[in-house]
Amino acid sequence: MTSEGTTSEGTTGEPGLELPWGWIAALDQGIRDDSYGLGHFQAPRQGYKHSGIDFLMPVGTTLLSPCAGSYLAGYDGGYGNWVQVICKVPPSIAGDQAIFASMLYAHLNATAVPITGIDPNKAGKVSQGQTLGTAGKSGNAGAAGIHAHLHFEVALHSSELAGLQEAHISGADGDNAAAMALRASIKAACLEPTGFAPTKATLNIGRRIDPFIFLTCLSAEKPPLTTPQIQALHSWSADYTAETFDVDVGLP
Ligand SMILES: [Zn+2]
């Protein structure tokens, strides 16, 4: 950078937050809300707090990788068909720190990437926007009264390998230095400038960060919020607030 030459300012005069990632699905119908449980971050579960968000969506909704990174994919009785994507968190909210996000997609109807199992040595690569599979009701989401949804959660780590080793076990919520560092930097880069905050929960459970806040601070590509057929809309604005943008729309 030099002090002379053309300006690096945007044409609006507002630098804004760089939003380099994509969104995680092809549609947005807010949060699952049914008789089996609520889908918001930190919703009560038996013996622990819900460590992700249940993004309500019909069976078959296309799921996307928000970033280029590594992945694992498999099946277990609880999460059903699952895909785990590990990406380095961009400088726009991580600064120059090496912080990696392990993002779990669970209860998929079908996976669209080769199955690897949980061995980090078998990890594959995904590109930003790549289709990972489709949303569904596999694993312990199969009961008729459970609305189809994507269980999505984000755990932070200091290396890609540590991210690949993250098992996303509910209730195993220990904190770590990378997660603490990311919370400080996302507050300074995104939350404080916009007044963006959760109204009914805290930003994190240990190393798990609120997935909606994390994604919103990284992506301008959230699909429009639409009303679901299966339940009343549980909008983002019911659980989050911001001063400079509409949380149901996302950062511009
Ligand atoms: Zn869930």
Q: What is the pLDDT of residues 49-103, one digit of tens each?
A: 999 999 999 999 999 999 999 999 999 999 999 999 999 999 999 999 999 999 9
The tens digit of pLDDT for each residue in 9-39 reads 434 445 678 999 999 999 999 999 999 999 9
41 in a structural domain: yes
Higher-pLDDT residue of 6 and 176 is 176
25 in a structural domain: no
Residue 167 has pLDDT above 90, yes or no: yes
How much distance in Å is there from the Cα of 109 to the middle of ligand 1? 15
Residues with CB under 5 A from ligand 1 (ion): 54, 151
Per-residue DSSP letter, 92: H
pLDDT given for residue 15 in this prediction: 60
Count of domains observed in the chain: 1
How much distance in Å is there from the Cα of 36 to the middle of ligand 1? 11
148 in a structural domain: yes
pLDDT given for residue 229 in this prediction: 96
How much distance in Å is there from the Cα of 171 to the middle of ligand 1? 12
Q: How far is CA 212 from the centre of its chain?
A: 6
172 in a structural domain: yes
68 in a structural domain: yes
How much distance in Å is there from the Cα of 148 to the middle of ligand 1? 11
CATH of residue 220's domain is 2.70.70.10
- What DSSP element (H or E) covers 102? strand 100-111
pTM of this prediction? 0.94
Enclosing domain of residue 81? 33-241
Residue 191 has pLDDT above 90, yes or no: yes
Q: How far apart are the first and last CA of the chain?
A: 26
237 in a structural domain: yes
Q: Report in angstroms the alpha-carbon separations of 14 from 22, 186, 193, 237.
A: 22, 19, 12, 24
Average of pLDDT values for 145-171?
A: 97
28 in a structural domain: no
How much distance in Å is there from the Cα of 52 to the middle of ligand 1? 6
C-beta separation of 65 from 130 below 8 A: yes
| Of the candidates 103, 158, 156, 105, the residue with the CA atom closest to the CA atom of residue 133 | 105
Other residues' Cβ atoms within 10 Å of the Cβ of residue 98: 13
pLDDT band at 8 (very low <50, low <70, confident <90, very high): very low
How much distance in Å is there from the Cα of 232 to the middle of ligand 1? 18
The mean pLDDT value of the chain amounts to 94
Residue 239 has pLDDT above 90, yes or no: yes
